[in-house]
Structure 1
Amino acid sequence: MGSPLLKLLRVVRPQTDGMARVTGRKIYILPTRYGLVFGLLLIALLIASINYANNPAFILTFLLTGLFIQAIFHTWRNLLDLSVRWKHTEPVFAGETAFIQYLLWDDKGRAHYALQLGFANNEPVITDCPQGEKVLLRIPCESARRGVLKPGRLTLESRFPLGLLRAWCYLDTDALAIVYPKPLYTDQHAATPSWGAAVEGDKGVGTDDFVGHRDYRPGDQLGHIYWKAMAGEKGLLVKQFGGDRVNRYWLDFEAIESSHTEQRLQILAGAVQMLSQESAWYGLRLPNQVIPVNGGETHRHRCLEALALYGIGA
């Protein structure tokens, strides 16, 4: 489809608060294959009614025609006044399926049924929107390469109530997702370890000896959470470890023996994943960025995001 035709499309665009609201002039509607067959059936009934001057046949023809006309209105109305807002997208690795989270609701409180939402060349999601409720949807979108994934226009459609007509509209929601490089696990030494005894102790930093508990903080390793305390309704606690030595690693882009930038980034992503599973502390050196040594889930995502956006900007 050429650019001039794209400009003629009626697209629902987001407002300043990110909400995209479907109005009547943005909705397309056409008969489905069943609707075309139904229309041919009506024409055949009308011809037969005229030919035989059969009053019951006329009544049946007009009744079915009225039903078809009512289906046009109800199918169109099933999309009218729906509001969609992009909420969040969890980062994924290249080649995985990103799930774009949306909120769906009707400001006027009407119920909507058998709604289908999806992106081009991806599996759609079918849902209802109950009266007066907001529905959280996770719509899949395949990711091919690292960087910023922009899934494009969201298609919202409905064939409710009879399946004779298809009503649909296109929505621009400004949704995006961060796609990390696909981890590559090799024998190359992407991480350079160093260690030393801390003057003030290393409580909560080491990995050798258990030294106690503390309250959970966002970004803590899931493997350090004290699940038994949570099950006993004692709150969300995290195990602390210490030791005489603390290994700290530097992941250096320039230290990897490869001429391919993407392969280097994949090796670094694999090293980040392995060190995170070992609860080790590590830093990342890229030609345009240095992330200091740290640990935890927040630090892992920060490093992977830097790898994902390397060379393409934020």
Structure 2
Amino acid sequence: MKLTTGGGLYVASTLLLGVSAVNTGNNLLFLIVAAMLAFMATTGVLGWLNIRGLTLNVHLPDEVYAGTDTFLSITLHNAKKFLPSFLIRVAVLGETTSFLLVERKRPQSGALLLSFPVRGPLQLAEASISSPFPVNFFIRATSLPIHQDCTVFPAPRPLQVPAPGGKPDAGEAAATASAGYDGELAKISDYRGGEPLKLIHWRLSAKHEVFKVKELTATAAEPLLLELDSIPGRDVEQRLSFCTFLVNRLIKGGRPVGLKLGERVIPPGSTRSHRLRLLTELGNHGKN
């Protein structure tokens, strides 16, 4: 429990009146102090009940990149008590979202924009919920388990894209992370964390609990094996970032890509699950 400025003044006033009542023996002061203590106790019980019985579901997208803003979907449930909850704040890793009203058996959804500074395994163990209800004198808080695990992929950095013949394509030298999405609209799918913001279908997203993105078609090409040690870069982290960009750029462009990490070789593939596998290997490289 945390005292607000108003709460601190209220407690100080109560103590001051209590001391005055004892020193003067004034019955009216005793009644005022008793009323103030009763009010404090009542609001305390209501505030405690307000954050009890809540459960939280957190969903991380399939693609989380180091240093890149990622939407974290949050669903708050109130299924264990008859009373609604008011003015609920949910905090994960220092970022906060608010829910004005969480009615019984009517889940409320929200989102947080998080950024993870380094690549590698990530575990979100708990979230903090708090509320100033019913009066902004005390902020009561508790923790809820969420148990979300994922791998943060290396931050992609643009690099020349190898052409089907094995040499860099001069026309691809200035490619950015948004390249490879230049085909026709294939379908609408859920946001997974790696898509450029320009592909988010904002109008359709407003009608659903999760963000919607446009998926575009692309053409296929011959397989390519990326060898991490052969990727240019000043250090391992920069090579991993370049390799992450190439994996996304090439596979999303329809070209099968494999990966060689030291003595380990992953054969080329072009499916989305294969791309996520390669990104996971890059994210966990050297972390185990």
Letter in 2 for 1:95: G
For structure 2, the residue ranges without an aligned partner over 5 or more in a row are: 167-180, 189-213
**How far does the alpha carbon of each residue in 1:12-49 deviate from its partner, in whole angstroms, 9 at most, with x for none?**
xxxxxxxxxxxxxxxxx353332121012223445666
Letter in structure 1 aligned against 2:225: W
Supply the distance in 2 between the matched residues of 1:262 and 1:67 (Cα, whole angstroms): 58
CA-CA distance at 1:274 after TM superposition = 2.6
SS at match of 1:153: strand
Tell me whether 1:303 sits opposite 2:274 in the alignment: no
Coordinate RMSD, CA, aligned:
3.4
Q: What TM-score, normalized to structure 2? A: 0.70
* 1:95 positional shift: 0.8
- Corresponding position: 1:169 with 2:142: yes
**Distance in 1 between residues matched to 2:238 and 2:30, nearest whole Å:** 73
One-letter amino acid of the structure 2 residue matched with residue 150 of structure 1: Q
Change (3 A) 1:237 1:141: closer
Q: What one-letter code is carried by the residue in structure 1 that aligns with 2:90?
A: L
1:124 is aligned to 2:84:
no
Distance of 1:297 and 1:93 partners within structure 2: 16
SS of match in other structure, 2:147: coil
2:168 maps to 1:193: no
CA distance in 2, matches of 1:143, 1:247: 34
CA contact (8 A) 1:184 1:270 kept: yes
Structure-2 separation of matches of 1:96 and 1:239: 25
Residues 1:71 and 2:46 aligned together: no
Cα displacement string for residues 174-215 of structure 1 (whole angstroms, at most 9, x for unaligned residues): 22332111112245x7x47349xxxxxxxxxxxxxxxxxxxx
TM-score where L is the length of structure 1: 0.65
Shift of 1:157: 1.5
| Paired position in structure 1 for 2:54 | 82
Paired amino acid for 2:164: P
The whole-number CA distance in structure 2 between the counterparts of 1:74 and 1:90 is: 39
Displacement of 1:109: 4.4
Separation in structure 2 between the aligned mates of residue 76 and residue 282 of structure 1, nearest angstrom: 55
Provide the residue aligned with 1:203 in structure 2: none
Amino acid at match of 2:185: I
Structure 1 distance, partners of 2:27, 2:215, is 81
Post-superposition offset of 1:60: 4.6
Q: What 5-or-longer segments of structure 1 have no aligned partner?
A: 1-28, 196-220, 229-235
The partner residue of 1:270 within 225, 239, 245 is: 245
> Could you give the per-residue CA deviations for residues 241-293 of structure 1, whole angstroms, max 9, x where no partner exists?
68xxx443222223224462222211111212332453333222222543333
**Secondary structure class of the residue paired with 2:86:** strand
Provide closer, same or farther for how the CA distance between residues 84 and 241 of structure 1 changes in structure 2, counting only shifts above 3 A.
closer
SS at match of 2:104: coil
1:217-232 alignment runs, 5 A limit: 223-226=183-186
Identity of aligned residues (%): 19
Aligned partners of 2:270, 2:95: CA distance in 1, in Å? 37
Confirm whether residue 95 of structure 1 aligns to residue 67 of structure 2. yes
1:35 corresponds to 2:7: yes
Pair member with larger Rg? 1
From 149, 152, 156, the equivalent of 2:129 is 156
Q: In the alignment, what sits opposite 1:107?
A: 79
Deviation at 1:300, TM superposition (A): 2.9
8 Å CA contact 2:218, 2:254 repeated in 1: no
- The one-letter amino acid of 1:182's match is A
Identify if the C-alpha distance between structure 1 residues 44 and 237 changes in structure 2 by more than 3 Å, giving closer, same or farther. Answer: closer
- 2:141 pairs with 1:181: no
